[in-house]
């Protein structure tokens, strides 16, 4: 049975299935380790571009609450620092990690700084933006703390504005965890 599932997944991958596209992307952790998004297969994800010096930085607290409340049920918050919006994430990875731990006691996975827009946009964000457009069907990320909700099978289900508080996403998360 395991071999049959592996063959099926390989066929989907070769056909370029959207459900598999997310899991074919590699990312670098905040500690410099390259990991595959495949690590998150079967989990509900909330992917967020974060910044330490933004008016929305206090959302780290709400993201941590969601992580703690639902991690045992198959949910993960993934934080991707980005310095593209008024240079609001100027620190090194070490400084970002220390800031998050000291101020918000974050336990969710954090990653190396990336670009979310432009020619240098990380492949993960190219994928996310192509699957869930923003206001007026724009793909561009408008600001820090834009959030993407991902289903257990890797589908991008919803994109939330930076002003959307993590707490208000809770119902959508609960629905996906059923």
Which residues are annotated as catalytic? 54
Closest C-alpha among 90, 82, 101, 80 to residue 37 = 80
Decide: 51 and 88 in contact? Cβ < 8 Å: yes
- Where would I find the H helices in 1-53? 2-14, 18-21
Give whole-number Cα distances, 103 to 52, 61, 154, 168, in Å.
10, 9, 31, 22
């Amino acid at each position: 049975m395991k071999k049959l599932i592996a063959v099926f997944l390989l066929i989907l991958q070769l056909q370029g299935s959207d459900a598999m596209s997310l899991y074919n992307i590699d990312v670098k952790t905040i500690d410099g380790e390259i990991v595959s998004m495949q690590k998150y297969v079967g989990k509900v994800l909330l992917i967020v571009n974060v910044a330490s010096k933004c008016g929305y930085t206090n959302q780290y607290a709400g993201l941590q609450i969601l992580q703690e409340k639902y991690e045992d049920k198959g949910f993960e918050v993934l934080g991707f620092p980005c310095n593209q919006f008024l240079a609001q994430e100027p620190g090194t990875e070490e400084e970002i990690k220390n800031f998050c731990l000291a101020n918000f006691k974050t336990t969710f996975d954090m990653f190396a700084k990336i670009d979310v827009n432009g020619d240098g946009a990380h492949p993960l964000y190219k994928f996310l933006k192509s699957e869930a457009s923003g206001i007026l069907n724009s793909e561009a990320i408008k600001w820090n703390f834009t959030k993407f909700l991902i289903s257990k099978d890797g589908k991008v289900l919803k994109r939330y504005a930076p002003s959307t508080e993590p707490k208000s996403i809770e119902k959508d998360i609960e629905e996906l965890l059923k």
